Structure 1
């Protein structure tokens, strides 16, 4: 039984590691702040959540111990990381950071121009 538990936990940790590695590659390869932020918030969140779930399952299944710290960590990361990424991108856009030339379209340009015309 312990071998099956260790395999399941190892799969979660390896998936989390793979997402974290992909996120690091995204930081290096992607062209602008918006796409880098996307790589940072989405894949790091999934990677960290997978690793934390693996740790939670390990303690739950082997030692029959429910770690409230791991549960709080999972909830905290799940809620705060996407919100922080959104706010970083929004503040970058409002402060005038340009999109890369390969970006398909700028949906917010018309929204912010309409708001400035109203003021």
Structure 2
């Protein structure tokens, strides 16, 4: 083992262990947290960070250990960091809409979690329902 190769191995191994730890915590949160809104944080925060650390470990290994520059990991990271928040936002919007209309979980209420009992959004919160704007509110272009 030479100096730069051993440093690359140690750095890549540390990043892989760190990434695996975050992915494990995110997966555990996805399985163990009681409500959908709390379960969203596992895969979108911790698991995304874990996968990012593992992808950085791959870049470090190929750059420092093999002397090659790879862009595949960077493209995967960009795709992952762009799609995870967007998909979580869409899932949260659908869930809030279903809570508001009373069709969430087949009519059954969600269990209370560590953050407290889930409450439906206030009656005037139309942002997730895809309703037409009410007359006289911002976004009502019919009155202009």
TM-score over 0.5 for the pair = yes
Contact conserved, 1:23 with 1:43, CA < 8 A, in 2?
A: yes
Q: Distance in 2 between matches of 1:51 and 1:114?
A: 40
TM-aligned CA deviation for residue 27 of structure 1? 1.9
TM-aligned CA deviation for residue 28 of structure 1? 2.2
TM-score calculated relative to the size of structure 1:
0.84
Partner in structure 2 of residue 64 of structure 1: 67
Query: 42-51 or 18-27, which moves further after superposition?
Result: 18-27
Structure with greater Cα Rg: 2
Which residue of 100, 121, 139 corresponds with 1:109?
121
Which residue of 81, 84, 106 corresponds with 1:78?
81
Cα deviation digits, residues 36-92 of structure 1 (max 9, x gap) = 111111111001000000001100112221111111011111111111111111111
* Equivalent residue pairs, number: 118
The answer on 1:118 being equivalent to 2:118 is no
> Aligned pair in 2 of structure 1 residues 15, 104: CA closer, same or farther (>3 Å)?
same
Task: For 1:13-92, list aligned pairs within 5 A.
Answer: 13-92=16-95
TM-aligned CA deviation for residue 107 of structure 1? 8.3
Gaps of 5+ in 2: 136-144
